[in-house]
Amino acid sequence: MKLYDGGRASNPRRVTIFLKEKGVSVPTVPVDMAALGHRAPEVTSLNPFQRLPVLELDDGTVITESVAICRYFEELHPDPPLFGRDPLEKALVEMWDRRVELIYFAAVAAAFRHLHPAMAGWEVPQVPEWGEVNKPKALDFLGFLNEELAGRACIAGERFSIADITMLVAFDLMKPARITCPPELNHVWRWYRETSSRPSAAIARV
């Protein structure tokens, strides 16, 4: 198999961290997204939505979408479990991964893509008003999460999961999105210090 990797962009990094946490090594085809390599014919033929990462299996089957790629490896290599161990834990990991992705990551990404000058060729058309509307949404989520993390170690419970990985790449995207986590959110910062110091997190940091 081959993983077409977009380096430090959030979703490619999400899969790279996941694989590192799993201890799984996959042959990689680096794609230079800054040079719009994800829009080249080779990637477009694999994923018409021109998004990375893309996993191509030996028989030519293509899996796109970062979480789908992660789930494939979870099924092939169950240890350590990063999607939960039993029905309830699996449901709670999915709940938290979706809350982080759909409420927080989406808001940070909207601020980044609709407001950053470098994104003008990526997000067409940019709608700056939409970018601005999303900044307080991201901050509201951080305030909510701070209270949650007062009572537990990780995003979805006491065990590290894919929800921590999603939160980490989204948190790091705040820098180019020009959103600052308030210093008084001490539980979020404690979580960030612990998570970003894992060896897996050093990969392709923004």
Q: Interface residues with a second copy (CB under 8 A)?
A: 48-49, 57, 61, 63-65, 67-69, 71-72, 75-76, 86-88, 90-92, 94-95, 98-99, 102-103, 125, 127, 129-130, 133, 144
Residue 187 or 198: the one with the smaller Cβ distance to a second copy is 187
In whole angstroms, what is the distance from residue 5 CA to residue 37 CA?
10
In whole angstroms, what is the distance from residue 156 CA to residue 97 CA?
8
Residue 16 or 201: the one with the smaller Cβ distance to a second copy is 16
Residue 75 or 184: the one with the smaller Cβ distance to a second copy is 75
As measured in angstroms, the least distance from the Cβ of 121 to a second copy is 16
As measured in angstroms, the least distance from the Cβ of 39 to a second copy is 15
CA angle 32, 33, 37 (to 5 degrees): 70
In whole angstroms, what is the distance from residue 107 CA to residue 135 CA?
7
As measured in angstroms, the least distance from the Cβ of 73 to a second copy is 9
Q: If 0-12 CB within 10 Å is exposed, 13-18 middle and 19+ buried, where does residue 121 land?
A: exposed
Residue 94 or 194: the one with the smaller Cβ distance to a second copy is 94
Quote the tokens at residue 118.
């470098």
Residue 100 or 201: the one with the smaller Cβ distance to a second copy is 100
Helix (H, G, I), strand (E, B) or coil at 37: helix
As measured in angstroms, the least distance from the Cβ of 197 to a second copy is 29
- Give the 3-state secondary structure of 90-159: HHHHHHHHHHHHHHHHHHHHHHHHHHCHHHCCCCCCCCHHHHHHHHHHHHHHHHHHHHHHCCCCECCECC
As measured in angstroms, the least distance from the Cβ of 202 to a second copy is 27
